[in-house]
Chains A and B, each alone.
Chain A
Amino acid sequence: MCAVSETTRENSITLEATVRNLPLIMAFLGERMDAWDCPLRKRMAIELAVEEVYVNIANYAYAPGSGEMTMRVELETADAARTIVVTFIDQGIPYDPLAREDPDVTLPTGKRRIGGLGIFLVKQQTDDVAYEYRDGSNVLTLKKYL
């Protein structure tokens, strides 16, 4: 797995999962949210969740090698409610980030460890997060009500 081609079609982007490509992921997400007139505060929350999930995939999914990931960004509408749904798909090692215990956010500075804070923030900033391993892929889905 070393393809570097970037393909963008409709609601999804596929690229090599590297931290260096984070700006491409954020730009793609930003364009989608612009199109949907997403309120600023919700937008920041979604950006934060997407960054944390993407960076996790970039750092760990294919370590020490590299590989591709796909992010799909969609808007679901039901009656008056709108929900942004972001799906991350990679073929790296099977890993459920949600299974990890939340960090203790009440510890004093000296005992604080930063590990796990990213995924904790994802849970805090979204309305729903789900993980499944399906057909050889890690599939993580975030939902945020607008």
Chain B
Amino acid sequence: MALEECGYITREELEQFGLFPSEERFKQGPVAVIECIQEIPCNPCEAACPRNAIQIGAPITTLPMLNEKLCTGCGICIAKCPGLAIFTVDKTYSGDEATVSFPYEYVPLPVKDEIVEAVNRVGEVVCKGRIIKVLNPKAYDRTPVVTVAIEKEFADEVRSMKRK
């Protein structure tokens, strides 16, 4: 497992665990990507989803499963995941751009319209990104969620931004 040896998840691993949304679902708009493939005792994402799209059940170590039909990609689960392992991806954002929303607990926070360096799961810069929004309401409990617009082809790769 790349995650155990190298510390990052691969798309293949996500697919293997049934955690990578289908292309059909991506075509319909924003959707959550839950990058959690180890059975750890944790379930706040399940209660976080207002549409019950995330299921864990018992025991608490069961992997989360996303019901992609119920998921609206609202992103509430992003800040609720203690592992910071949930993202939302919108491949329908515009003709040539997709957006990726990710948790970002560093200061300074980026600001709207800022151009940042978007990074992949290994921290490598893959492209430039434009900040669409930065949400940091009280309910997120100090886990701001940043949404960045990037070229569509990098939507499955980009998962954060380079720290400033």
* A and B: interacting chains: no
Chain A residues close to B by CB (< 8 Å)? none
